[in-house]
Amino acid sequence: MRILVTGGAGFIGSHLVRRLLSSSQHTVVNLDALRYSANLANLATIEGHPQYTFVQGDICDQHVVSSVLQVHQVEGVINCAAETHVDRSILDPGSFARTDVVGTGVLLEEARRAGVQRFLQVSTDEVYGSVETGSSTEEDQLAPRSPYSASKAGGDLLVLSYWTTYRFPVMVTRGSNTYGPNQYPEKFIPLFVTNAIDDQPLPLYGDGRQRRDWLAVQDYCAAIAHVLFHGEPGQVYNVGGGNERENLVVAQQMLDYLEKPKSLIRFVQDRPGHDRRYAMDCSKLRRIGWQPSIPFEQGLHDTVEWYRLNTSWWRPIKSGEFREYYKQLYGKRLKEGVTG
């Protein structure tokens, strides 16, 4: 299949591009705007691959999108392009509505006009909102609570409306908290690992008892590919790792792997509107033949090792734009501690 992956220089996107190219059956075009969390170093191993093309461009740019679809005669689209970080959505909500709703809309409409055969929207469990007990199924009502999750929910609804209205063959995957190598160090696991390596405090929000379901990025990419080829049009598929853990426990585990003291954990003021727990029922995806394969303890250990061995990947990131962001988000919090 000739596949367009948008956001292919980002975390999930770059793992996906490499995975798709590992089978000689596909050609891949990667359309990426190269904003702050994108990194072409993630794709160094496939540079010059005969079945791979990189195009720098924004999914909001109708002209670029339609030309890429036509020039490369794209048959399948996987939309990984997104603003993804909840804390940044609290600081700058507008950019999330722009990329995650408007950009998704532009890509979708151009794909429909170009006669694309499969369109897969990469989404998130956060659209269900905080789930105090039980687990969300694909039929549950959406209840997003942050500008990030509300924007993703808007994108999902737009995508699904194209099946209802035009019978355009769309699918949506809703992934749980994804982790692994090459994740931008604003996210919980890479932030805590890289801070710990440098003996810096780990800013744990609130009481640290929030729960997330951790999914290895390799497992998520396998699920996305599986849904692209075997999913039913018009359907949503929940993708979870089956590894529900409290943040505090995960933080302690990372410190253990690095042989660093627990005293590095610093309880700080909570994220506004912080969702307490996410949990999904993933039986629908299991029924079409996918299940996670990487046990969390092994995946976390390997991820910690990757960041320990690849300081040349993350050190330049943490010394650039990131420094200002870190100061803005954590400076006061770290000074004041949890009572601030």
Backbone angles phi, psi at 30, to 5 degrees: -110, 115
Nearest distance from C-beta of residue 173 to ligand DAU, angstroms: 11
Catalytic residue, chosen from 52, 58, 100, 148, is 148
CB closer to ligand DAU, 14 vs 177: 177
Nearest distance from C-beta of residue 60 to ligand DAU, angstroms: 19
What would the two tokens of residue 337 be? 């501690």
Burial class (CB in 10 A: 0-12, 13-18, 19+), 185: buried
Determine whether 126 is an active site residue. Answer: yes
How far from 37 is each of 88, 233, 315, 317, CA to CA, in Å?
12, 31, 14, 9
CB closer to ligand DAU, 177 vs 182: 177
CB closer to ligand DAU, 177 vs 243: 177
- 60-65's contacts with Cβ under 8 Å and 24+ in sequence apart are 60/98, 60/99, 60/102, 60/103, 60/106, 61/106, 62/106, 62/110, 64/31, 65/31, 65/106, 65/107, 65/110
Catalytic residue, chosen from 32, 58, 100, 125, is 125
Nearest distance from C-beta of residue 303 to ligand DAU, angstroms: 13
Q: 150 CB contacts (<8 Å, ≥6 apart)?
A: 144
Task: Give the span between the Cα atoms of 86 and 92, in whole angstroms.
Answer: 10
Determine whether 148 is an active site residue. Answer: yes
Q: Which residues bind ligand DAU (CB under 6 A)?
A: 84-86, 124-126, 176-177, 187-188, 191, 203-205, 210, 212, 247, 271, 278
Task: Give the span between the Cα atoms of 137 and 236, in whole angstroms.
Answer: 10
Nearest distance from C-beta of residue 129 to ligand DAU, angstroms: 11
Residue showing the smallest CB distance to ligand DAU in the complex: 124
Determine whether 125 is an active site residue. Answer: yes
Q: 337 CB contacts (<8 Å, ≥6 apart)?
A: 266, 267, 268
Nearest distance from C-beta of residue 190 to ligand DAU, angstroms: 8
CB closer to ligand DAU, 104 vs 124: 124
Catalytic residue, chosen from 32, 83, 126, 186, is 126
CB closer to ligand DAU, 14 vs 176: 176
Catalytic residue positions, numbered = 125-126, 148
